[in-house]
Amino acid sequence: MTIKQSFGRPVTETDTDIAIVGGGLSGTLAACILGRAGYRVTLIDRHRVIPEEFRVEKIGAEQVAALQRLRLLGSVSAAAVAFDDVVHVHKGSILDRTNGRHFGFRYNKLVSALRAALPANVSLVFGQVNGVQTGASRQRISILGQDEITARLLVLATGIGDILHRDLGISHRSVAEKRSLALGFNLSPIGAKSFRHVALTYHGASDGIDHMNLFPVPGDTRANLFVFRDPRDPWIKSLHESPKDTLAAIFPSLSEAIGDFEIVGAVDSWLSDITIAENCQQDGVVLIGDAFQSSCPATEIGVSRLLMDVERLCTVHIPQWMAASAFDRTKIAAYYGDPQKQESDALALQLAAHRRNLATNTDLRWRTRRQIHFLRRRAVHAVANLSPALAEKLHRLAERHVKSPARSPA
């Protein structure tokens, strides 16, 4: 059944103000914010119990600040492990350190905790959406085997592969196919109660290996490895079959840095394409998160993009729209044209290209940039040991340089 199906009863009022299809991280965050603002919200998802998926497992820096600003950090922290010090390693020696609040978690546990925090005026509906009918003033959502739901506004938080996009005529333009491969696995220390560092990031050496994060999650130490290699590369197979030996070959002195370890359980993987939605400025429907633009996991700013979408839509645009009688495409276009959202989207694409070049490009220009990149970080770390205040100023200057849309992140 598709959008062209025949819907049932005509309605003069809607069942809910806002229907959100997709109860993952972005959809659940949006439901929390809109519910707290007093709107009637219906969150629709296929899964009553969130499956154990390999998705985002760590947040820090501005992501933590955004969640705190949205009054959602408490729910996140309850399902996570907090840590403040991340040691960065390159070619077997310490590069620098990052100080600041981070959280490690299991994706399904995090979303479940956020669902538990939903206000009473948010209804959770479990089922497969198999048809929608959209318009400026009323949206109809058909759910397999259930009554249809009507809403004033429809928010799609369904990722890039949902059939509803096709039925609405929304396509996805590919910016970069198979942009990066993320791999996740658990580590356990051998001969010690814990690892030498609570959290560590080991940076690769321009052979398609970007970096690997080690960090705590409830009950385990987790590793997220980001690479720019063909998934058919024999190296990928060797990582699945002999993960410890494969890691030792690409990350010199890893055991010396954290202590002896073993890999526990299977290696998870996630292959990412970067796509952008097209023909999405339509009456009554709006896309957030990966449903609009997917991100390269190696940049680690996918959650920042998601939070920007959720925050701008739910705290700025929807409150303005709700005063009107209709949500026409002119109003919807204001969200997609939001300067802060556009800057966030552009930065994500810019950083994705930069990370790939930094990890794979072997021409003289990029070899030089890699050397400068790591030399600068070592220099700032040396300054920090002598003058933390001066190092903090240098970090802030670097952050402003990276976030300027007119500049390269290098």
Across the range 237-263, mean pLDDT stands at: 93
Across the range 377-388, mean pLDDT stands at: 76
Across the range 73-89, mean pLDDT stands at: 95
Residue 179 pLDDT > 80: no
Residue 6 pLDDT > 60: no
Residue 402 pLDDT > 60: no
Residue 273 pLDDT > 90: no
pLDDT for the residue numbered 9? 42
pLDDT tens-digit readout, 130-147? 889 999 999 999 999 999
Across the range 236-265, mean pLDDT stands at: 93
d(CA 177, CA 271): 9
d(CA 176, CA 179): 6
395 confidence band (pLDDT: 50, 70, 90):
low
pLDDT for the residue numbered 405? 41
pLDDT for the residue numbered 408? 37
Across the range 56-77, mean pLDDT stands at: 94
1 confidence band (pLDDT: 50, 70, 90):
very low
4 confidence band (pLDDT: 50, 70, 90):
very low
pLDDT tens-digit readout, 22-41? 999 999 999 999 999 999 99
Q: How far is CA 128 from CA 144, 164, 248, 255, in A?
A: 6, 11, 44, 47
pLDDT for the residue numbered 323? 85
DSSP string, 266-301: EEEEEEEEEEEEES--BTTEEE-GGGTB---GGGS-
Question: Where are any strands of DSSP class E within 35-143?
Answer: 41-45, 58-60, 80-90, 93-105, 122-126, 129-133, 139-143
Across the range 370-388, mean pLDDT stands at: 81
Beta-sheet pairing, 93-105 with 80-90: antiparallel
Q: Which contiguous run of DSSP H or E holds residue 27? A: helix 25-36
pLDDT for the residue numbered 394? 63
Residue 150 pLDDT > 80: yes
Contacts 24+ apart (CB under 8 A), 43-48: 43/118, 43/122, 43/123, 43/124, 43/125, 44/19, 44/20, 44/125, 44/126, 44/127, 44/129, 44/141, 44/143, 44/149, 45/21, 45/124, 45/125, 45/126, 46/126, 46/127, 46/128, 47/23, 47/126, 48/126
Across the range 149-173, mean pLDDT stands at: 88
d(CA 354, CA 226): 14
Across the range 37-59, mean pLDDT stands at: 94
Max Cα-Cα span within the chain: 73
> Among 112-116, 209-213, 327-331, 382-386, whose mean pLDDT is lowest?
382-386
Across the range 278-290, mean pLDDT stands at: 95
d(CA 122, CA 120): 5
Contacts of 382 (CB under 8 A, 6+ apart): none
pLDDT for the residue numbered 272? 84
Rounded to the nearest integer, the mean pLDDT of the chain is 89
